[in-house]
Structure 1
Amino acid sequence: MAEGETAEELFTGTKPVADTHKFDEAKLAAWMEANVEGYEGPLEVRQFKGGQSNPTYQLVTPNKKYVMRRKPPGKLLPSAHAVDREYRVISALYPLGYPVARPYGLCTDESVVGTMFYVMDMVEGRILWDGTLPDYEPAERRAIYEAKVKTFADLHNVDWRAAGLEGFGKEGDYVARQIHRWTKQYKASETQHIPEMEQLIEWLPNNIPPGDKTTIVHGDYRLDNMVLHPTEPRVIAVLDWELCTLGDPLADFSYHLMNWVMPPGDSSRGSIMAIDDLKAWGIPTMDEYVDLYCKHTGRDGLPELDYYFAYNGFRLAGILQGIIGRVRDGTANSANAESNAARVVPLAKFAAEYARRAGMPG
């Protein structure tokens, strides 16, 4: 990041298409003509600056702007970059009035742009990157946070069977499957012995809270993955459905809540931990935010939160350790390898602390 440059400036807006992501624009224009209702060229293609794992383009025509999400070119992991899954969930939610961009079409024919892609509406509004909302007044901050949690609760309230998402993910045992997955990843990537991780690997799978409800889970619900109305405190589009599946809504919600509890000094973006007096700042305390979520989802409370914070800390440690392992093995090069490595032990200690609150011995 250049000196004085904010995340908003770095990631917002478009740039010319990177050489590695170029394709035959005439072929795309012909596909749009045949498949996108109301399309009228000529077409200009730009690329969004943000660091999406699926290259994302702005398609500009004289009357309208569209967005295209495509699989990146090159050799990929089998289940990664599943833009067809993103398209399926957006197509299921849009008719229900849930705030997502209008989907126009999915193209599985790789001869058009080189990889599978889909096209959706370009939703114009505000994308905010800093969870502390430094440019807003306390009342505006409060309203944005209230809109954010209501929109999240609305997602977990969707009847996914009625929405046509049968088979979109496995029903039940979501947390158990996730623990198994990240344990395997952690063990394969281990670079140092971390006693807390060993304790968690043993304790977490045997103490999963009962009441395993299945809902749509977003997987990465956060402020910079949504478009706010240009002037109103209202979410008009939730973005980046790459990690979406069917799963445990409390795993999804508690991951979002990590902004309130992350270990001090963790480098994750948008943390509000640095604010001494959230109420004076206009941002709900974690208890207030949890109460809002419970009100919107009809719950009496979330007594299981300590367990879920332990689970999320463990999962994050496993994800980061996986990146470190790939760098070690020469299958990934990460400019942030050192800072990722520095985060693993604090996250393991954080997870173990919450696990002990939830009943883990020691």
Structure 2
Amino acid sequence: MAFLFPLSTFLLPAGGEYGDVRASFDEAKLNAYLAKSVPAVKAPVTIKQFKSNPTYFLTDARTVSIQTAHQVEREYTMLAAIHNYNSRPTTAPEARVPVPQVFVLCEDKEVIGTPFYIMEFLEGRIFTDMSMPGVPLEVRRECWLSAVRALGALSSLDPKDVGLEILIKSLSKVSLAQAAVKDIDTGEPVGEITGWRELIGWYESNLPDERKTGVRIVHGDYKLDNLIFHPTENRVIGILDWELCTLGSPLADLGNLTQPWVFDLADVGTLMVGFKNNPGAEPISLEDLEREYCRVTRQPYPIVEIGFARSWMLFRLSVIMQGIAARRARGQASSEQAHLYASFFNVLGRLARGVLEDEGYLPKSRAKL
């Protein structure tokens, strides 16, 4: 989800435009709650809503955001724990994980009808296109290196050190349920992801040895457009959108961040940014990114398990796309591009297998994308 972005400071469009509040809730109750429970916010506040998601822009003497979406409790817990870790005098500057400060979590649905939390406003830049068109090459390179350094700091953080315990969901069960959903018009099931059974079997038999890094905090959707960069400096000042966070191998986030280097435009068309077989498009070499990650996390290069991580995150994305297909089959998908994403999950399944083929883990398939 996008958060708060002052458009006047952006080098690129950020997708963060906001306007009048669409959802109806009692603003008087909210202001009463803020006056009583949140000294960091001076009520009354003016309220605007972002056009693309259920995030609200609150303005008083200072600027903050109110987040009202699914998994807000999980996001708040994660952000609060990391911010407390950053604030310790014993935490070195390079070890800090850039996140916005959160002020309060309200689980009382009587206030505005849903749980919400309030967080700090971070003024900066969001790059919604991973290729960063129109941005000088050196700026692109520095931003991507900063993204890897911020991830390296997160990957180096021991969750036990910040008191975090998070449940892990099973993607395989989710995918099976989605595959069985039938189209309300045709009666045809959504169907399994191409190569689903083979991939699940391979993943279960080849899990990375987490003893090398220890179980770490996994953001779950670590990518360029979930990062806020300083308005003028090419460094990350905030990692957003923690609703998919969990515990596991930190390589999952590195695999997710570097997906554009796996995507070929011939396969993904306009739905994804692809640097593979696209001369001049990549902002930095994949090797440079992985070497920087290894430097920050103090592990040897090359990363043996990165093929697993990249394939797994592509498979995970295919399950998400399959979910869109299932919602569309039920007539519940509202996005204008839902039909495009709904037909894309099998392409991603084949790409997930292709990564394992390229790494030599599976034999080359004759099937074409």
Please name the residue that 1:276 is paired with: 279
Distance (whole Å) between structure 1 residues aligned to residue 30 and residue 313 of structure 2: 41
SS at match of 2:49: strand
Structure 1 gaps, min length 5: 1-6, 72-80, 171-176
Please name the residue that 2:299 is paired with: 299
Distance (whole Å) between structure 1 residues aligned to residue 107 and residue 191 of structure 2: 43
Q: What amino acid does structure 2 have at the position aligned with 1:180?
A: S
Please name the residue that 2:16 is paired with: 12
Please name the residue that 1:64 is paired with: 62
How much is the aligned-residue C-alpha RMSD, in angstroms?
Answer: 2.5
Please name the residue that 1:204 is paired with: 203
Please name the residue that 1:87 is paired with: 76
**1:256 maps onto 2:257 in alignment:** yes
Structure 1 pair 285–181 and aligned structure 2 pair: CA distance change class (3 A): farther
Structure 2 gaps, min length 5: 1-10, 87-96, 182-188, 365-369
Q: What amino acid does structure 1 have at the position aligned with 2:129?
A: D
Distance (whole Å) between structure 2 residues aligned to residue 127 and residue 56 of structure 1: 16
Alpha-carbon distance, 1:182 to partner: 4.8
Alpha-carbon distance, 1:86 to partner: 0.6
Match of 2:176 among 158, 161, 184: 184
- Contact 1:327–1:334 under 8 Å retained in 2: no
Please name the residue that 1:164 is paired with: 163
Alpha-carbon distance, 1:355 to partner: 2.2
Within-5 A mapping of 1:90-169:
90-97=79-86, 98-165=97-164, 167-169=165-167
Please name the residue that 1:236 is paired with: 237
Alpha-carbon distance, 1:208 to partner: 2.2
Alpha-carbon distance, 1:239 to partner: 1.0
- Contact 1:69–1:83 under 8 Å retained in 2: yes
- Contact 1:140–1:233 under 8 Å retained in 2: yes
Deviates more, 1:188-197 or 1:310-319: 188-197
**1:349 maps onto 2:350 in alignment:** yes
Alpha-carbon distance, 1:57 to partner: 0.6
Alpha-carbon distance, 1:272 to partner: 4.1
- Contact 2:263–2:273 under 8 Å retained in 1: no
Deviations 1:177-201 (A, max 9, x none): 6453454245434535665334323
Distance (whole Å) between structure 1 residues aligned to residue 40 and residue 49 of structure 2: 22
Q: What amino acid does structure 2 have at the position aligned with 1:346?
A: V
Please name the residue that 1:288 is paired with: 288
Deviations 1:101-153 (A, max 9, x none): 11111111111111000111111111221222223222211111111110011
Please name the residue that 2:91 is paired with: none
- Contact 2:25–2:112 under 8 Å retained in 1: yes
Distance (whole Å) between structure 1 residues aligned to residue 237 and residue 348 of structure 2: 33
Distance (whole Å) between structure 2 residues aligned to residue 263 and residue 271 of structure 1: 5
SS at match of 2:160: coil
Alpha-carbon distance, 1:334 to partner: 4.5
**1:37 maps onto 2:39 in alignment:** yes
Structure 1 pair 192–103 and aligned structure 2 pair: CA distance change class (3 A): closer
Q: What amino acid does structure 1 have at the position aligned with 2:46?
A: E
- Contact 1:263–1:347 under 8 Å retained in 2: no
Deviations 1:60-92 (A, max 9, x none): 11x211100013xxxxxxxxx110111111111
Deviations 1:273-316 (A, max 9, x none): 475135xx7x2211111111111111113122222222222222
Alpha-carbon distance, 1:45 to partner: 0.2
Distance (whole Å) between structure 2 residues aligned to residue 37 and residue 244 of structure 1: 29
Structure 1 pair 40–314 and aligned structure 2 pair: CA distance change class (3 A): closer
Deviations 1:146-185 (A, max 9, x none): 11110011111112111121x2235xxxxxx645345424
**1:328 maps onto 2:329 in alignment:** yes
Distance (whole Å) between structure 2 residues aligned to residue 294 and residue 147 of structure 1: 14
Structure 1 pair 16–101 and aligned structure 2 pair: CA distance change class (3 A): same
- Contact 1:216–1:244 under 8 Å retained in 2: yes
Report sequence identity in percent: 32
- Contact 1:228–1:234 under 8 Å retained in 2: yes
